[in-house]
C-alpha cells in the first residue's frame, strides 16, 4: 500500500479546508498476464525422435546396383550404323566390307548408361539412362492364380495352372516294408515335419522326407500310398497343409504376384557410383581399336522427392513391407525387339539348357505385358524396341493364411533375344534377367498373434479369423529400428521427417547356356527330378 498527499488548492471558498489530507490507493488485480510458451521445458529427445518416426510415412529409397553381364552372341549386320554398333571378332576377318560387319554388340548396347553414338533415334544426353533400360519403383499389389506354367521333370514337360500348387511326379518305392509313393517336386515344396499335403482332393500325412541324398528333403516327400491313389510316373500337383485336421483353413494357396508402379516411382534419378566398379570386373572394359565389349559399373537409383506410403497396402491388404526397383529392358537401338514381338517371360525353374518348350511357347509370349513398338529414322528405316507398361508379373508365391506367411517359390525372369537385323547362329538363344530387385522396408514378427473374437480390440484389418479356433491371427509389423530377441528387424536412417532405406544388389544379365548359372539353377531347384546336388566332403579337417 502506498500513501499519496493531496495538496489543497490556493483558491478557497467558505467550506474549503486548509489542512492537508491523505488517501490510500491499493495496486491489486484479479487478472494475470499469460505467458505464451514456457521458457524452461525438459525435452526427451529420444522419445520425441521415436514419436516423429512412428508418425512419418515419407520415404526416399536408395538402390545401389552393380550391373554385370556377359556379351556372348556374335552376329552379322548390314545396318548403316554397323560401324558404331559392332565390336569386331578378333579371330575372324574384322576388316569388313562396306555392306556387312561381323562381331559383337558394343558394351553400351547393354549398359544402363548409353554413351553418345550415331543412332537411328537421335541421341540426347539428358535421356542417356533411358535408351537401353527403364526403371520403376514397384510393389506387389495383387495376385494372378490363373496363369499357365510349364516345367520339365524327369524329361517330361508338364503344364499346370499356378493355383493348383506345386508340380511333382510320384514313383512307387518300398520303405521299411511299406508301399510308398515318392513325390519328387520340381521346386521346393516347403512342407515341414508334422504337416500334410493335399493331392487330388485327398489329404495325405507325410511318412518321411528325402531319399538320403544331400538336401533331397527339400524336394522329395514320401507318402503311404493307400489304395494306389497317387499314380506312378504321372505328373500332378500338391498343396501344403499345415494342420491335416483343419485342411480347409490351413491349406496354402499359390499365385503369381503382380507388381504396380507406386506414385512417383517412375521418376527415378540414375547416377554412376563415382569411381565404383563392380566386383565382377575380370573381363570388363575389353577394348579393341576404340570398341568396348563389356563393362561393369555400379549405379545409384533414388527418387527426385520423397513419397508418402501411408495407406498403401500389398496383395494381402497389409501395409507394404517391400519395395522393388523394377528394371525393364527397352533396347531402343532396335537390335533386340522385332515386329509383333513380346518380351519372353518365365520363372527360375524354366531356365534350363535348350528349354525351348516354355520360352518359345505362346504362353511365354502372349501373356507378356511388354510389347514391341517401332519408330523410323530419317531414311524411313523401321526399328523396334520394347515399351514397358506400369504393371508387371512377379514371382511364383505361396501364402498360408493360418501362418500369415508368404514365401517365394520361384523368382520371375524375362528373356530377350536379338532381332533378325542382327543375325546370330541360333536366334532362339538370348539373355535372362530378374527384373525385380527387393528393398525391405519393414519386417513382420516371427510369431503369430492370436486373440479370441470376444476380446478382439485394435485387431489389424489384415488379420485372419479362424472359425475352427475362434480366434483372429496376425503378425505384428516391427517399427524401424526395433529388433526382437532373434535379431529379427530392420533399421535405416531417419532425418528431416523422412526415412532413407537403402540396399545393395547385383543385377545380372546372363546368356542362355551359361554353364555356371545353369548348374546353380539346377542344383538349387532339382528341376529334372534328379539328385544333382553333391554332398560336400566332410573329413577330420572340418
DSSP, residue by residue, 78-94: --TTHHHHEEEPTTS--
Three-class secondary structure assignment of 367-425 = CCCCEEEEEECCCCCEEEEEECCCEEEEEEEEEECCCCEEEEEECEEEEEECCCCCEEC
| Strand, coil or helix: 159 | strand
For residue 321, the model assigns a pLDDT of 96
Could you tell me the pTM of the whole model?
Answer: 0.84
Cα(4)–Cα(176) distance, integer angstroms: 119
Tell me the three cell numbers of residue 259: 507388381
For residue 279, the model assigns a pLDDT of 56
CA neighbor of 277 nearest in space, from 302, 295, 292: 295
User: Is residue 87 a contact partner of residue 293, using CB atoms and an 8 Å limit?
Assistant: yes
CA neighbor of 427 nearest in space, from 523, 328, 360: 360
Handedness of CA 312, 316, 319, 322 (dihedral sign): negative
Give 467: exposed, middle or buried? Use CB within 10 Å, 0-12, 13-18, 19+: exposed
CA neighbor of 480 nearest in space, from 38, 8, 54: 54
User: Is residue 315 a contact partner of residue 140, using CB atoms and an 8 Å limit?
Assistant: yes
pLDDT along the chain (542 residues), means of 10: 55 57 65 65 78 90 92 80 71 55 85 85 86 95 94 89 96 89 95 95 94 92 84 93 94 97 86 71 53 86 92 95 96 87 89 70 71 87 87 95 96 90 72 96 94 85 93 94 92 93 94 53 38 46 52
For residue 516, the model assigns a pLDDT of 36
CA neighbor of 389 nearest in space, from 261, 303, 269: 261
Handedness of CA 294, 355, 163, 475 (dihedral sign): negative
Strand segments, DSSP code E, in 145-264 are 148-153, 156-161, 166-175, 178-185, 196-199, 202-209, 220-224, 235-241, 253-261
For residue 26, the model assigns a pLDDT of 67
**Cα angle for residues 337, 340, 342 (degrees, 5° grid):** 60
CA neighbor of 74 nearest in space, from 90, 59, 62, 60: 90
Cα(398)–Cα(166) distance, integer angstroms: 9
Residue spans per domain, the chain: 62-145+257-441+501-511, 148-256
For residue 17, the model assigns a pLDDT of 58
For residue 506, the model assigns a pLDDT of 92
Tell me the three cell numbers of residue 157: 514337360
For residue 356, the model assigns a pLDDT of 60
CA neighbor of 438 nearest in space, from 299, 188, 259, 269: 259
Tell me the three cell numbers of residue 40: 524452461
H/E stretch holding 515 reads helix 515-525
Report the CATH fold assignment for 148-256: Elongation Factor Tu (Ef-tu); domain 3 (2.40.30)
Amino acid at each position: 500500500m502506498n500513501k499519496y498527499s493531496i495538496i489543497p488548492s490556493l483558491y478557497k471558498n467558505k467550506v474549503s479546508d486548509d489542512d492537508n489530507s491523505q488517501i490510500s490507493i491499493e495496486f491489486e488485480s484479479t487478472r494475470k498476464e499469460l505467458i505464451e510458451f514456457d521458457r524452461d521445458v525438459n525435452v526427451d529427445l529420444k522419445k520425441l525422435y521415436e514419436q516423429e518416426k512412428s508418425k512419418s510415412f515419407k520415404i526416399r529409397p536408395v538402390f545401389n546396383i552393380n550391373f554385370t553381364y556377359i556379351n556372348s552372341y556374335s552376329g552379322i549386320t548390314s545396318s548403316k550404323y554397323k560401324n558404331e554398333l559392332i565390336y569386331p571378332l578378333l579371330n575372324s576377318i574384322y576388316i569388313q566390307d562396306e555392306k556387312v560387319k561381323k562381331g559383337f554388340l558394343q558394351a553400351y548396347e547393354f549398359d544402363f548408361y548409353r554413351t553418345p553414338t550415331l543412332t537411328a533415334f537421335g541421341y540426347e544426353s539428358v535421356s542417356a539412362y533411358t535408351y537401353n533400360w527403364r526403371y520403376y519403383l514397384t510393389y506387389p499389389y495383387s495376385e494372378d492364380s490363373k496363369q499357365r506354367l510349364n516345367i520339365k521333370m524327369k524329361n517330361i514337360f508338364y503344364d499346370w495352372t499356378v493355383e493348383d500348387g506345386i508340380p511333382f511326379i510320384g514313383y512307387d518305392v518300398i520303405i521299411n516294408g511299406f508301399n510308398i509313393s515318392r513325390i519328387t517336386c520340381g521346386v521346393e515344396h516347403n512342407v515341414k515335419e508334422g504337416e500334410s499335403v493335399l493331392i487330388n482332393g485327398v489329404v495325405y500325412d507325410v511318412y518321411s522326407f528325402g531319399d538320403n541324398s544331400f538336401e533331397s528333403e527339400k524336394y522329395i516327400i514320401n507318402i503311404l500310398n493307400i489304395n494306389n491313389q497317387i499314380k506312378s510316373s504321372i505328373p500332378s500337383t500338391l498343396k501344403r497343409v499345415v494342420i491335416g485336421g483343419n485342411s480347409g483353413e490351413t491349406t496354402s494357396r499359390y499365385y503369381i504376384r503382380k507388381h504396380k508402379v507406386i506414385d512417383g516411382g517412375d521418376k527415378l534419378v540414375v547416377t554412376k557410383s563415382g569411381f565404383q566398379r563392380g566386383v565382377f570386373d575380370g573381363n570388363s572394359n575389353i577394348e579393341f581399336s576404340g570398341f568396348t565389349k563389356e563393362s561393369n559399373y555400379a549405379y545409384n537409383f533414388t527418387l527426385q522427392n520423397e513419397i508418402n506410403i501411408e495407406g498403401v497396402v500389398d496383395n494381402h491388404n497389409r501395409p507394404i513391407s517391400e519395395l522393388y526397383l523394377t528394371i525393364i529392358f527397352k533396347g531402343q537401338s532396335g537390335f533386340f525387339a522385332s515386329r509383333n514381338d513380346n518380351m519372353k517371360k518365365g520363372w527360375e525353374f524354366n531356365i534350363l539348357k535348350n528349354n525351348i518348350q516354355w520360352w518359345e511357347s505362346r504362353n511365354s509370349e502372349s501373356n507378356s505385358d511388354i510389347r514391341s513398338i517401332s519408330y523410323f529414322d530419317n531414311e524411313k528405316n523401321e526399328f523396334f524396341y520394347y515399351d514397358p507398361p506400369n504393371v508387371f508379373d512377379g514371382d511364383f508365391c505361396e501364402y498360408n493364411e493360418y501362418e500369415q506367411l508368404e514365401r517365394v517359390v520361384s523368382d520371375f525372369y524375362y528373356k530377350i533375344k536379338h532381332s533378325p537385323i542382327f543375325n546370330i547362329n541360333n536366334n532362339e538363344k538370348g539373355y535372362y534377367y530378374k527384373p525385380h530387385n527387393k528393398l525391405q522396408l519393414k519386417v513382420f514378427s516371427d510369431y503369430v498373434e492370436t486373440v479370441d473374437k470376444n476380446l478382439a480390440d485394435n485387431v489389424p484389418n489384415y488379420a485372419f479369423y479362424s472359425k475352427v479356433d475362434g480366434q483372429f491371427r496376425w503378425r505384428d509389423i516391427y517399427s524401424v529400428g526395433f529388433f526382437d530377441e532373434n535379431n529379427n528387424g530392420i533399421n535405416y536412417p531417419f532425418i528431416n521427417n523422412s526415412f532413407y532405406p537403402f540396399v545393395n544388389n547385383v543385377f545380372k544379365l546372363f546368356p542362355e547356356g551359361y554353364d555356371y548359372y545353369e548348374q546353380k539353377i539346377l542344383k538349387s531347384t532339382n528341376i529334372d527330378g534328379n539328385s544333382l546336388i553333391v554332398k560336400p566332403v566332410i573329413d577330420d579337417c572340418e
